[in-house]
Homo-oligomer: A and B are copies of this chain.
């Protein structure tokens, strides 16, 4: 864990290091086995010990996690053999046709009631766009959907396919605000049910088809392809397949946008997140993302890194999660609540320290000249 400005307090009251002044926080280790587990596989066992209460954090959890991340920089000069060992120990689950539904259900089928407690009204579970820093979370999620639609240059009557639609907010926004027809794919039964119900209630059922299926089964041709927060869960082995799906789905003048958590540098992913929170997840580097685009010659027009916007989004989520503390406890046990607190705080720390990035990538087909002359239009009219 490097050498963060943190005071470790052992089960017997011993303090390590002895010399530290004004630590960011205190880590209480309740038993000896937890110390050994931390030494063996810190990423995985930190989370597990935190959840069962044998590791407790005194002080601001986000600040403590930021201090740990800052002490272990992205560019490590650690032994490559050790890196390889952890990589193998903590490698991500695969996302075959068979395993993807299990992986997705693990996370999303916790229940809509839980997510409703701390997400915005539209249930958007991806990075918001705070076009000005003082926006509320609700406003910033709408601003994000606006920003994406603007980048996609949607016209009324066009068709859009969305891969990984969550609770369907973007599809509803696109249909409502831009008059486009949307087919939106998602593997989570509960999310699809929720999305269909809301589209019906808002009179958008004729505009949106929510489909409970894998992105690999997308059929038809569309004027725009959009995927927000799915690539992280597609798995590296499937980027070329995703590229093929886009290739067969996009019209010659079609526009595409992929919005994904990413990283500056490839390396082992956080094992606890992958094993306990998001099985099969992997945040790719820009180089790795090119596996989607390059084989079919897709032309990247624009990449925007919205890292600090995800930090801000997570601040909102975490604060709301804590405000709804009692309601959360009525739905889940202590260990679950701890796990989600650590996941939200750890993700926030990941974005503030640069462990994680948020890439929004706009692309077209090769040689397509029907593209905006500059990006000024994204920032006109009071945006």
Contact = CB atoms under 8 A, between A and B. Distances in A.
A266 B294 contact: yes
Contact of A305 (B286, B294, B299, B352): B299
B285 A294 contact: yes
A305 B300 contact: yes
B297 A75 contact: yes
Nearest to A354: B367
A357 B299 contact: yes
A308 to B, nearest CB: 7
Interface stretch (A116-124, A336-344, A368-376): A368-376
B264 A298 contact: yes
Nearest to A377: B379
A289 to B, nearest CB: 9
A196 interface: no
A271 B209 CA distance: 50
A133, A290, A353, A367: residue with the most chain B Cβ atoms closer than 10 Å: A367
A112 interface: no
Contacts of A236: none
Interface string A59-80: 0000000000010011100000
B301 A305 contact: yes
A287 interface: yes
Contacts of A295: 75, 265
Interface in A118-156: 129-133
A103 B73 CA distance: 39
Q: How many copies does the complex hold?
A: 2
A268 to B, nearest CB: 15
A303 interface: yes
A320 interface: no
Contacts of A73: 297, 366-367
Nearest to A371: B308
Nearest to A373: B133
A366 B367 CA distance: 33
A185 interface: no
Contact of A299 (B130, B132, B264): B264
A333 interface: no
Given A264-B297, A285-B294, A290-B286, A75 B304 contact: no
Contact of A74 (B74, B305, B307, B366): B366
B379 A376 contact: yes
A88 interface: no
Contacts of A302: 303-305
Nearest to A133: B373
B305 A293 contact: no
A98 interface: no
Contact of A375 (B70, B299, B304, B369): B304
B264 A376 contact: no
Interface string A74-105: 11000000000000000000000000000000
Q: Which 4 A-B pairs have the closest CB atoms?
A: A354-B367, A303-B303, A287-B290, A74-B297
23 contacts: A73-B297, A73-B367, A75-B295, A75-B296, A75-B366, A130-B373, A132-B373, A264-B293, A264-B294, A264-B297, A264-B298, A264-B299, A264-B366, A285-B290, A285-B294, A286-B286, A287-B294, A299-B305, A299-B354, A300-B303, A302-B304, A355-B367, A376-B383
